[in-house]
Structure 1
Amino acid sequence: MKLGLDISGGDFAPKANVLGAILALNHLPDNVEVVLIGREEEIHPILKENGGDFSRLSVVNAPDIITMKDHPTRAIPQKPNSSISVGFELLAKKEIDSFASTGNTGAMLVGSIYKVNAIPGVIRPCITSVLPIVEGGNSIILDVGSNADCKPDVLYQFASLGSLYAKSVMDIKDPKIGLLNIGEEEGKGNLLTQSAYKLMKGSDDFNFIGNIEGRDLFNGKADVVVCDGFTGNIVLKQAEGIYSIAKEIGIEGTYFDRFNYENYGGTPILGVNSNVIIGHGISNDVAVKNMLCLSYDVVESELTRKIKEAFK
């Protein structure tokens, strides 16, 4: 198995990304190789500084960088030698089994759709985030930012994608699917959530439990929380804010520690033809290590194949 990693993306690139790859070697099986995609002249000195056996690391030179300021749609064709563009070329040619980056999220989404394409039948690929449950374990929420405006059939597909992810990667046998709304009753919400509820009610594709409210996000009422990307991104950023405030005022506790993005590393783009993982732009070496471990789990679970079969 070959896991591709963008070395040039993120606030602390390239050092944090290379060090994260080195850390990951201790947590990944011996048959896994990590392919470092970026500027050779920056990667090799970092490896040399840290010594050790790096026979399971390989380097693919990509001299250009897509920055956070680059326009996502134009960046990939304008910078074909960038680490993100080269990573998607390798992924499209099946020379790597997954591609992960902490760089420009928009460019990663564009590359996923135009370089490896959406799975036939998937209207809108989406991204997820983890919701730590008070009593232990995690649930997920989707979408969290890639689709600000959605239609009811798109939310229905998010439920299917989230259910497949929860089963395959999180090992939840029959995940409970909840629709995030302003009330639990069937008739509550705006036109979008009311219509989505009607589609999802009684579905044979997933275990729909009905509407859930914001107060239920962290109590495990639903294993998968479905919403449009605008709402999901607000939830995600609020959770990050709560964690930051807790740290700032000195609140200690294992539960609050589970809000730390480092623990999860990143999120797969669900609904595209290969395994693409997006990490946080401020990722340090520990977060990059966990992003690679997630990449391994996604590939090993054959999540993409299962989504393709479900959407035939």
Structure 2
Amino acid sequence: MRIALDAMGGDYAPQAVLQGALMAKESFSKENKEIVLIGNQAIIHSHFEKLGADKNAFEIVHTEDVIQMGEHPTKAIGQKPNSSIMLGFKMLKEKSVDAFCSAGNTGAMLVGSLFTIKAIPGIDRPGIAGFIPKEDGRYGILLDVGANADCKPEFLDQFAVLGSLYSKYIFNIENPKVGLMNLGEEEQKGTILTQATHQLLKNNPKINFVGNIEGRDAFNDRADVIVTDGFTGNVVLKLAETFYELMEKRNFMDPFIELFNYAGVGGSPILGVNGNVIIGHGVSTPIAIKNMLNLAVQLTEAGIVDKIKNAYN
């Protein structure tokens, strides 16, 4: 198994990325797993020397081009075809790697995936999956969390299937419960979008739809998969991440609060594209990078892309 990692992506790259790669490599040492770094070889070697690490410990795909965090995704992709992000997608498309991870420009990761490896046939809009802590110590899936700010009911219907497949094959939940985020439990409540989506979800034989859920149900066991548009999902996810920061400042921690630390999951997969793609938080720490790589291993071993393809054949 080979996992490509954008060494230059993220607010604290390349140092935090390389430290995370070293941590992951140590945990992979006795397994048939390899991390391929993409970035400026001289800079990577320099940082490895500062870290006291073997500069030849990883295969490095050299490039001097980087899509910066503030660049316009579509323009940057056209202007920088040899950037670390675009080379990662090129390798994924050519199947020389099994997964691609980056904590770099989120928009470029999303647009790059659609331009290169493309959406799985039958998927209208791939979505970014976020992970919401549950009171019983596990995670639920929130989909979408930012790829599609404006949605059609058909998109949310597909998010429900994508989230259900992920829950089944990654979280081992045999018949995951799907809830539609809304402002009330009653079927007739909500916007034009949620009302129309409700009708699609309740008639979708591929999912276990349990109806509308409210924001107060995000962290309980009412639903394993929460479906919403990318605008709402991103707000909910960022709010959840803030809980950890607030509690940490107040020195109030317990196992449930610890689950709100984004670094524990490491990244968010783009579901519905023709390859394993994981987006890391821009402020990813070495621990977050390590866990993002572990998530890439999980996705690859579970064959989640093939499971989604089979569902739409």
User: Above 0.5 in TM-score?
Assistant: yes
Give secondary structure in 2 for the equivalent of 1:116.
coil
Give 1:143's aligned residue: 144
Given the alignment of the two structures, is residue 174 of structure 1 paired with residue 175 of structure 2, yes or no? yes
Match of 1:24 in 2: 24
Aligned to 2:196: 195
Output aligned runs, 1:113-262, within 5 Å: 113-262=114-263
Letter in 2 for 1:142: L
**1:235 is aligned with what amino acid?**
V
Q: Which moved more, 1:127-136 or 1:54-63?
A: 54-63
Judging changes above 3 Å, is the alpha-carbon distance between structure 1 residues 282 and 52 closer, same or farther for their aligned structure 2 residues? closer
Structure 2 CA distance for aligned equivalents of residues 264 and 51 of structure 1: 27
Note the residue ranges of structure 1 that are not aligned, 5 or more in a row. Answer: none
| CA distance in structure 2 between the aligned counterparts of 1:81 and 1:126, rounded to whole angstroms | 25
Report what 2:72 is aligned to.
Answer: 71
Cα deviation, residue 53, structure 1: 6.5
Distance in 1 separating the partners of 2:260 and 2:8: 26
1:130–1:138 CA contact under 8 A, matched in 2: yes
2:178 touches 2:208 (CA, 8 Å); kept in 1?
yes
In structure 2, the gaps of 5 or more residues are: none
- The residue identity in structure 1 corresponding to 2:41 is E
Q: 1:173 and 1:55, CA in 2 relative to 1: closer, same or farther beyond 3 A?
A: farther
SS in 1 for 2:186: coil
List per-residue Cα deviations over 1:29-80 (Å, max 9, x = no partner).
Answer: 5200000000001111233344567876211101111001211001112012
- The answer to whether the 8 Å contact 2:20/2:290 transfers is yes
Q: Counterpart amino acid of 2:249?
A: E
Q: Write out aligned runs for 1:51-90 (5 A).
A: 51=52, 57-90=58-91
Contact 1:32 1:56 in 2 (8 A): no
2:292 equivalent to 1:291: yes
1:8 corresponding residue in structure 2? 8
Question: Which stretch of structure 1 is more off in the superposition, 72-81 or 107-116?
Answer: 72-81
| 1:252 Cα deviation from its structure 2 partner | 2.1
Aligned partner letter, 1:9: G
The secondary structure found in structure 2 opposite 1:210 is: strand
Deviation at 1:267, TM superposition (A): 1.0
Could you tell me whether the CA contact under 8 Å between 2:45 and 2:55 is conserved in 1? no
Q: TM-score, normalised by structure 2?
A: 0.96
CA distance in 2, matches of 1:41, 1:54: 10
Which residue in 1 is equivalent to 2:307? Answer: 306
Secondary structure of the 2:27 match is coil
